[in-house]
Structure 1
Amino acid sequence: MSEASGPHPGGERPEIAAPQDLVRLLQDFTLEANHYVDAAGGRNDMHRTDLNALAVIMRHSAAGRVVTPGVLRSELRLSSPATTALVDRLHASGHLTRDRLGTDRRQVQLHMTPKAYRDGSALFMPLALRMGKAMGAYSAEELDVVRRFITDMIQATVAARTETAEKSPSPPSA
């Protein structure tokens, strides 16, 4: 038996072994969520990156933080030209405004428009309704455990990504 699935002395699993069925379920959920985003966005001529950008803007705005093209570039891991194209596309579609605010008029701040909120609601309401119905089968205590589990899985994924990025070889210099 493999170390990840076989019995262990003392009945304990090594720290590195994860229940593979749960890992597979998380992978399946991620894949299905991506398929949903592709289908919903495609119906509205929006790329996954467009929807991810709007999610970043919404999250930062809700926390009272300024959102700039640099924030999008960093969070979405895009090049400067790709970020400019993304912002231009969202602006042209009426989902985003670019405002030069404050004393430093060079800084562009990004804001979602009412149209972006309406379109986002229309895109994701079917998913939210289905998920809400599925969650209704669980008690508040069960949902608290799930909430903690998902939060821990997000933190583990971020830590693994950071560790992987730190170990990645530097790109060759030109």
Structure 2
Amino acid sequence: MASEGPEMELVHLLRAVTVELGLHSARFANRNGMHPTDVRALIALMDATRVGEEMTAGRLGAALGLNSAGTTALVDRLERAGHVRRVRGRRDRRQVVVEVEQRAVELGQAHFGPLIAHAVELLRGYDERERAAIRGFLEGVREAAAGAD
């Protein structure tokens, strides 16, 4: 195990932040009758929308590590709850893509908005060089976690 230096203090802090964010997400899921995977799916769908990508059920399942049956059950559950809709793809009308309903976006903004606003305000206190260092660290940890299996 790595020595308990200043780096490990930050690693422990990152772990604590991860736990708190997980609990915050779990409270959202609980209050809205969702499974934690439902929340992860909505985040993946909103992230795809943010960058202008269409998300098929297959891509969503792959992003969440679900098999075909699990993905279908997830999308069906979210659709019944009014959080997503299936539509024809804009680029390829033969494809069916999953989109987040505005109601789900508003629900998420009501719960996560204050936390996001606080994080943005904290980041405004750093200069561009410091934000680049934070971005590099977080991207590196995310990539390491993604390849950890």
What fraction of aligned residue pairs are identical, expressed as a percent? Answer: 34
Find the partner of 2:140 among 113, 128, 152.
152
Are residues 1:24 and 2:12 paired? yes
Partner SS for 1:132: helix
The 5-angstrom pairing of residues 2-151 of structure 1 reads 4-5=2-3, 19-101=7-89, 102-104=92-94, 107-151=95-139
- Count of residue pairs the alignment pairs up: 147
Q: Tell whether the 8 Å contact from 1:99 to 1:109 is kept in structure 2 after alignment.
A: yes
Tell me the distance in 2 between the aligned counterparts of 1:87 and 1:147. Answer: 32
Q: Which moved more, 1:92-101 or 1:29-38?
A: 92-101
Give TM-score scaled by structure 1 length. Answer: 0.73
TM-score normalised per structure 2? 0.84
Shift of 1:158: 2.3
Greater RCO, CA 8 A, separation 6+: 2
Q: Which has the larger radius of gyration?
A: 1
Quick one: structure 1 residues 109 and 131, their matched pair in 2 at CA, closer, same or farther if it must change by over 3 Å?
same
Greater share of residues in helix: 2
**Runs of 4+ in structure 1 displaced over 4 angstroms?**
none
Helix, strand or coil at the partner of 1:111: strand
Report the alpha carbon displacement of residue 138 of structure 1 after superposing the two structures with TM.
3.4
